């Protein structure tokens, strides 16, 4: 299974009240570093490795295409075409 994120369901929430509430079964991660690989895919597209840690110091990695992050940026700015599916 390929573990790089290249499809992501983006759900805008306009207020804190409309955002989901997470219980203790969800682990909160802190992003500590982002590594950009300019030609990280077979098609020479950018990828981003986001290094994260939890509160105990355990390390995690999120691997995503640059296109996913561009879509997230558009969603944050209020762009209309935000879904990557």
If phi > 0 it is left, if psi is from -120 to 50 it is alpha, else beta; for residue 78 that is left
Q: pLDDT for 39-81, tens place per residue?
A: 988 889 999 999 999 999 999 999 999 988 998 888 888 855 5
Q: Which residue has the tokens 């369901």?
A: 9
Q: Give 5's DSSP letter.
A: B
Q: Which residue has the tokens 């290094």?
A: 51
How is the chain split into domains, by residue range? Answer: 30-77
At residue 80, the pLDDT reads: 54
Q: pLDDT for 26-44, tens place per residue?
A: 999 999 999 999 998 888 9
Q: Give 4's DSSP letter.
A: S
Q: Which residue has the tokens 């110091």?
A: 57
């Amino acid at each position: 299974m390929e573990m790089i994120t290249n499809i992501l369901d983006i759900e805008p929430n306009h207020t804190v009240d409309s955002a989901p509430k997470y219980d203790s079964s969800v682990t909160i991660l802190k992003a500590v570093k982002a590594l950009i690989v300019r030609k990280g895919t077979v098609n020479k597209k950018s990828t981003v490795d986001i290094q994260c840690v939890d509160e105990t110091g355990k390390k995690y990695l999120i691997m995503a295409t640059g296109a996913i992050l561009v879509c997230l940026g558009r969603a944050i700015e209020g762009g209309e075409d935000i879904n990557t599916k």
